[in-house]
Structure 1
Amino acid sequence: MTLKLKIWLGGALLSVTAMAFSPSVWAHAHLKSQIPAADSIVETAPDTLMLTFSENIEPAFSGVEIVDDARQSLSVSNTSVMPETRNQMNVTLTKPLASGRYQVNWHVLSVDGHKLKGSYRFAVK
């Protein structure tokens, strides 16, 4: 093996190793925080839910479904992604939530092209 080939192979191996262990290569839009918080009990029913992700998301391919304890899907009047940050989704409810437990099912397409989904619960007192 020639010296030139050894140097090229060493550089290629180093590059692949660096990319494999780089956090940005493996990063996806994970849910960082939410309002109301997961597993919380709120005194007053929210009129808007706010979900913040670890990276920017594609608004056209991201959304939220809110389900009550009877597994009925609740209507939302608007779901928007904040243009300033593109990592925060605001969900405006059509009508106030009654007392009870709710599950928020979310799905997003992160700007790196990966689809992710998840859910969390909260309750209204």
Structure 2
Amino acid sequence: MAHAHLKTAVPADKAELTESPKQLALSFTESLEPSFSKAELKNADGHIIPAGKPALDPKDKPTLIVPVSTTLDKGQYEVDWTALSVDGHKTQGKYTFTVK
């Protein structure tokens, strides 16, 4: 049985952006259970930034889309994600990006 590992992310790990992203897009190696998969966005102080409801990309089922509900200020942000693959295995991780 396989686990859903993070394959790619937009914004990418350690990315330096010139403007606030409108969404997070996390692509995994396996299809996800959307009800039990999520991504939280935190600022440098560890406070959670409000985000929209995560949903699977209808064109790419292993991709979780999370709308960013607010314009992010300049600074470093952390994405903490949890993914539950359709075979029932849970994985989690984190990465950072910066808005310049």
TM-score after normalising by structure 2: 0.94
Residue 11 (structure 1) aligns with: none
Question: What secondary structure does 1:76 align onto?
Answer: coil
RMSD: 1.0
Question: What secondary structure does 1:60 align onto?
Answer: helix
Residue 72 (structure 1) aligns with: 47
Residue 18 (structure 1) aligns with: none
* Larger strand fraction of residues: 2
Residue 58 (structure 1) aligns with: 33
- Aligned ranges for residues 13-92 of structure 1 at < 5 Å? 25=1, 27-92=2-67
Deviation readout 1:10-50 (Å, 9 max, x if unpaired): xxxxxxxxxxxxxxx4x211000000110111111101111
* Larger helix fraction of residues: 1
Deviation readout 1:49-98 (Å, 9 max, x if unpaired): 11000110000111111110011001102311123432001110111111
Give the AA of the match of 1:116.
T
| Uncovered stretches (5+) of structure 2, i.e. residues with no partner | none
| Uncovered stretches (5+) of structure 1, i.e. residues with no partner | 1-24
Return the structure number with greater relative CO, CA threshold 8 A, min gap 6: 2
Q: Which has the larger radius of gyration?
A: 1
TM-score after normalising by structure 1: 0.76
Q: Distance in 2 between matches of 1:84 and 1:46?
A: 20
Residue 108 (structure 1) aligns with: 83
- Aligned residue pairs, count: 100
Q: Distance in 1 between matches of 2:63 and 2:75?
A: 25
